[in-house]
Chains A and B, each alone.
Chain A
């Protein structure tokens, strides 16, 4: 199936359109908020929250008996928030570290959720089929109202982000400064954490408890590699998230037996890998290239400095010398000499070399930091 045909299919097929829109919106909102989670070094909080939401879903079903998405998500939201604040309580009031608190809340809440889910399954009257989808997510169960809900939350989230932009930013990078300026850091902190919880809970139906954390992290981690500006990062993360959603849905729709959630996560992971390698400033590829270039430059400078030391004692700076005397201490390489000639620092004449005036001046100022290097 080619791309055009697929686009046509999206516009004609209700389910596919809903899923595509849903995953795109979800990817955008988790990407946006994920940027904050990643920068606040709370990457794994998403993992903990999504697991901690499970008992809320089960309890909401047990109490209300309804399988309405909104009711279940409110349950998830409450237990997710509860888990988040318990994690905070553990790390601030005891000497247990955040990783222990995260792992503990994650596994204990999840275990409790599984206990409730299996308990519900054994109930004779319960029409429980469908709660399982929150484990791994089933994008296929998305309906239009779910997408509307996601869009509303995303809009809300955007408004809050814009309203509190400078507060979020200052809290992110210099909490103490924010405190001294008189910002209510606790309130801002709770606000951003609550929105992160909200975004995670929204995604449970689509990608599920287990993989939700990747939706939060991967777009943000990828976006981080392309920029040093928070605004740009949030924007790129939203785009990455949305594209991961759309592409993942497309791939899983065109194959049999491929659930959407894992595919979206894998697509997002590919984005991360690509960004890690190819981003111009931080990427591994360009970093390696820069490393090699620097090494060559250093080699060149070494030869130049060596020549300078020899030439220095002579009255005539352009007096020719034999290449052989550079041999001490591995002072030169053929390629290095060629590069120097190319830069017009050195003249070669058979087996002899001489510094040009330009080369002499460069060598003289080699370690002068104020001089602008080419």
Chain B
């Protein structure tokens, strides 16, 4: 591994961490699409900044572009306040307009300078080690590394300083306000950090892929934990993992680093989405199936309890009466037998003592509209689940 390769991976990892922190809060606050809007609408800010400074890494350009990002948020909110359209429509109206202005500005005035739309969208991580910063002839490292390092440092400082305020206002905005934390300051603070991070990272990974780095790790982490600190840590880990593995994939395929980083993020999310222990797709589908069978079981038990006459409880009659397919009735019957809820003598099904108690309790809960409590009761009664 050459030092350039190491530097690229370091930059990518720092970008991933710097994005994961605001990204987590954006996902939790249901504002993920704002990051998409910001990443598009900073374009005119970048172009204007570039006209003024002629340097893509100038701090002034970053601040100007970040201001455009915050302006987007303000515009979206203003449009939303008119109540003429919904919030998502407001977002969808603002950023394409600003982005178009940026594209037109580039096409009209910046055609021959070093600033093309591809670079803005994709970034060129591969070239970052060659744009170095020198002080007194001493090599201080790549410019992008310095820029993102400073941004990450400030982000972490802000996170540590305002962690509990952010946490509170994210989960209970009303309580936060009544305790005297200004939701507006926190909101715009977060938006500013997101904008600055987007601008700082766009040079490395491109404007749109910043969105992936903000949302995908946070979304993956959200499926795995409900603890905010763990979620941030997990998101950062996923980000760094995708950054480094993405780099090597790009290296072997000889393709865009940013593209393959995003693809890795997508693969990580897909894996978590499918296999997350309690919130993943497979777990959810399994639980749905389990619950469906258990609902059938309860229906079945209620039916038995309702009918004391023997002919109503004959297996053949039950099949006909409840009108379940064979497979399903077999599953339900087996489950009931395994849990000692019923016994079958001469094809007549009857409730056992345990089944009686369970069913009467279930009826009590149902008539008092406390169906939810049946869920807890299942733990006490069921040896085997559906």
Contact = CB atoms under 8 A, between A and B. Distances in A.
Contacts of A117: 256, 259
A44 B281 contact: no
Contact of B35 (A103, A109, A213): A103
A65 to B, nearest CB: 18
Contact of B88 (A44, A109, A218, A282): A44
Contact of B215 (A44, A89, A103): A103
Interface in A97-155: 97, 99-104, 106-119, 122, 132, 135-136
B40 interface: yes
Interface stretch (B61-69, B103-111, B151-159, B173-181): B103-111
B104 A211 contact: no
Nearest to B100: A262
Interface string B94-121: 0011011101100110010000011001
Task: Bin chain B's interface residue count.
Answer: 35 or more
A71 interface: no
B266 A112 contact: yes
A115 B263 contact: yes
Given A100-B32, A108-B212, A111-B266, A269 B93 contact: yes
Interface in A295-352: none
Contacts of A110: 208-209, 212, 262
B279 interface: yes
A210 B71 CA distance: 20
A135 to B, nearest CB: 7
B85 interface: yes
B211 A94 contact: no
Q: Say what secondary structure dominates the interface of chain A.
A: helix
Contacts of A122: 254-255
Contact of B93 (A108, A113, A263, A272): A272
Interface string B132-149: 000000000000000000
B216 interface: yes
A47 B36 contact: yes
A59 interface: no
A104 B218 CA distance: 10
Task: Bin chain A's interface residue count.
Answer: 35 or more
Contact of A114 (B89, B214, B256): B256
Contacts of B273: 90, 94
A47 B27 contact: no
B258 A107 contact: no
A44 B92 contact: yes
Contact of B263 (A46, A89, A112, A221): A112
Contact of B259 (A46, A101, A114, A262): A114
Interface string A268-293: 01001000100000101000000000
Interface string B163-174: 000000000000
A107 B216 contact: yes
A119 B108 contact: no
Contact of B36 (A106, A111, A112, A272): A106
Interface string A228-263: 000000000000000000000000000001110111
11 contacts: A44-B36, A99-B31, A99-B33, A103-B211, A108-B266, A111-B258, A111-B263, A116-B259, A214-B92, A224-B85, A284-B84
Given A107-B209, A114-B122, A213-B92, 13 more contacts: A94-B279, A95-B279, A96-B27, A99-B30, A100-B32, A100-B222, A107-B36, A210-B40, A211-B99, A214-B97, A221-B89, A263-B104, A282-B84
Interface of B: 27, 30-33, 35-36, 40, 79, 82, 84-86, 88-89, 91-93, 96-97, 99-101, 103-104, 107-108, 111, 117-118, 121-122, 208-209, 211-212, 214-216, 218-219, 222-223, 250, 253-256, 258-263, 265-266, 269, 273, 279-281, 284-285
Q: What are the 5 tightest A-B residue pairs by CB atom distance, in nearest-first order?
A: A111-B262, A115-B259, A214-B96, A107-B212, A108-B266
